[in-house]
Chain A
Amino acid sequence: MRRFVAAYGTALAGLAIFVFLLLVARNFATAANLLNVLKHTSFLAILSVGFTFALITAELDLSFAGLCSLAAVVTGGLVHGGTYWPLAVATGLAIGIAGGLLNGILVTRLKVPSLIATLGTASIATGLAFMITRGVAFVGRWDDEFLALARGKVAGIPTLTLFMAAVVGLGWLVTRHSRLGIHMIATGEAEEEARRAGVATRRMKVIGLTVSGAMAGVAAVLLVANLSSAAPQMAGDYLLNAIAAVLLGMTMFEPGRPNVAGSFTGALIIAMLANGLVLMGAPYYIQDIMLGVIVIGSVSVSASVLKKAAFSI
C-alpha cells in the first residue's frame, strides 16, 4: 500500500485535479481548451524528456531552453529568408544536438560541473539568439508545409501530439528496455561502480546531455512552426516549467529517479494546472509561485539522484 502511494500518489493527485477542473473551472472541459492544454503539454513534454535523459546520468542541463531559443531563431530566420524549409529544420536540430554535445564534452572531458557548464552554454546561446535577430523577432507568412509540422493533423490527431507521443514513447522504450538505458541509469546511480562493471559512464553522460540538446532542437522547430514567428528568449519560460515537470515526475512510478513516464505525467499536470488557474481567474503570478512550490516540494520528498548531482559541484 505504501509503495503504491509512493509510486502512483502524484499521478492520482493529477487525476483528481483534472476531475476538479472539469467540474469547477468554466470552459475547461471544452474540446478547444483541452486541445490547447494538449498543445502546451507537447512542447513541455518534449523538453522534459530531454532534461530527463541528462538527469538520469546525474547531470543537470540548464541550457536546453537557451539552446531551444537559439535553434528557434536560426530555423525561423532561415525559413524567413526563403531557405528550403527541410534544410532550415535540419539546421535547427543540428544546433540543438551540437549544443548538447558541447555540454557533454565540457562535463566529461574538461570536468566542468554540469551546473556551471550548461549555465555557460545557456548564456552563450541566448546571446547568439539576440545577435542573430538583432533583438527583434522574425515574423512572416511562411511555407504552409513547414507550418503544418506543428499545426497539421494526421488522421484527426494534431501533429504536435504525434511528435510528443513519439518522443515520450521512444524515450520510455530506451530508458526502460534497452542496454543503453540501463547503462545510463547505472551511471547516474553509481558512477564509479558502473564504470568498474564495464559501463562506459562518460559516454552515457555525453549521450544524456546530447539527447537533451536534441530535444531542444525538436521543440524549437515545432515552436517556430506553431507560432509562425521566432524570437530570442521564446523558450525561456520552458526552463522552469520543464524542470518542474521532471522533478514532479521523480515522485512517480520510479520514486527518486528521473523517469520518462513521470516527466510526461508531470508535464501534463503542470500544463493542466497552468491552464486551469487562468480559467479560474487566478492572477498570472500564481503560476510562478506554483512552479516554485512544485520544484522545492518534489525535491524535498524524493529526488536523491538530483541531490547527488547538486552536491557534486
Chain B
Amino acid sequence: MTAILSVKGAVKTFGAVEALRGVDLRIAPGEIHAVCGDNGAGKSTLIKLVSGVEQPDAGTIRLRGEPIAFASPHQALEAGIATIYQDLGLAPRMTIYQNIFMGSELERRLLGLKYLDKLAMREESRAWLDRLGIDVTSVDTPVENLSGGQRQAVAICRALRWNAEVIIMDEPTAALGVRETEHVLDLIRMLKQQGTTVVVVSHNMTHVAALADRATILRSGRTQTELSLDGVTPETLSRLILSGAAA
C-alpha cells in the first residue's frame, strides 16, 4: 500500500510536556481511518501536525510519498488536507452558503469591478449539499437554525470545496444526539463512497468499529497499534486502548 498521508517518528513537545514521542501513522487512499487513544494520548496534537496548525520537532510527514512541511493550516488546505474541528468553525448567524464560501468567495467582474457572485455560490452550495444528501429548504438559512448534523454537513461542504482529498475530523459526533450521530456517520460513509479519504478522531469505540476500515491507537504519545478493524468488536478496541495489550 502507498499511503496517501503518512507520519513517521513524529515528536512534539510543549515546554516540559512530551505530547508526542514517536508517532507513526499511515493512511491508505480512500479509507476511513480512526485515531484512538485515551485522554491525553496525543490524538489532537497529531491532527494539528498534519493540518499545519503545529510543526513537529522531529519526524516526517509525507503526502503521496512526498515529504511536506506545512507552515500554516492554509498550506495544508491547499495541499488537499482539510480539517474540521469539533467547534466546526462556522459563523452561526451567517447563512449556509456564506459559511461554505467564507474566506474563498466567488466573484464576478462588471466593467472591471469585482462583486460577489451570490447566484453561483448559492447554486454550488446547493450542489454540494445534494451530493451529501442534505435536505435544507434554502441555502440562505442561517447556520444557527440547523441541526448538529446539518452543521457538520456545512463544514464538510466547505472542506470539499477546497477539493480536499483527505478530510480530518476531530470528534465529529461528540456533541450530537443519537439520530444526528447516525446522520454524521452516514455522511462520513458517503464521503468514502465518493473517494475522499477520512481520518476520524473518536472516543466512541462502537462508532469506530462500525465505521472505520483501520485504526491507529495512540498511547502516551506513541503509536501502540495499527490494526484492520475487520471483525473487531468495540469491546476488543476498548481493551486495547486501556490495557495496551491485544486481547
Contact = CB atoms under 8 A, between A and B. Distances in A.
B114 interface: yes
Nearest to B113: A178
A257 B105 CA distance: 20
A177 interface: yes
Nearest to B73: A196
A199 to B, nearest CB: 5
Given A179-B105, A182-B105, A198-B104, A193 B90 contact: yes
A178 B106 CA distance: 10
Interface stretch (A127-135, A144-152, A184-192, A217-225): A184-192
B138 to A, nearest CB: 12
A304 B115 contact: no
B91 A198 contact: no
Interface in A173-211: 173, 177-179, 181-183, 185-186, 189-190, 193-194, 196-199
Q: Which of B91, B92, B93, B118 has the most CB of A within 10 A?
A: B91
Contacts of B87: 193
A198 B103 CA distance: 5
B107 interface: yes
A16 B129 CA distance: 43
Tell me which of B93, B103, B107, B116 has the highest count of chain A C-beta atoms within 10 A of its own C-beta.
B103
B89 A196 contact: yes
A182 B91 CA distance: 12
B98 interface: yes
B91 A189 contact: yes
- Pick from A177, A178, A197, A198 the residue with the most CB of B within 10 Å: A197
14 contacts: A177-B115, A179-B107, A181-B116, A182-B116, A186-B94, A189-B93, A189-B94, A190-B94, A193-B102, A194-B91, A196-B73, A199-B102, A199-B103, A257-B93
Interface of A: 173, 177-179, 181-183, 185-186, 189-190, 193-194, 196-199, 256-257, 304
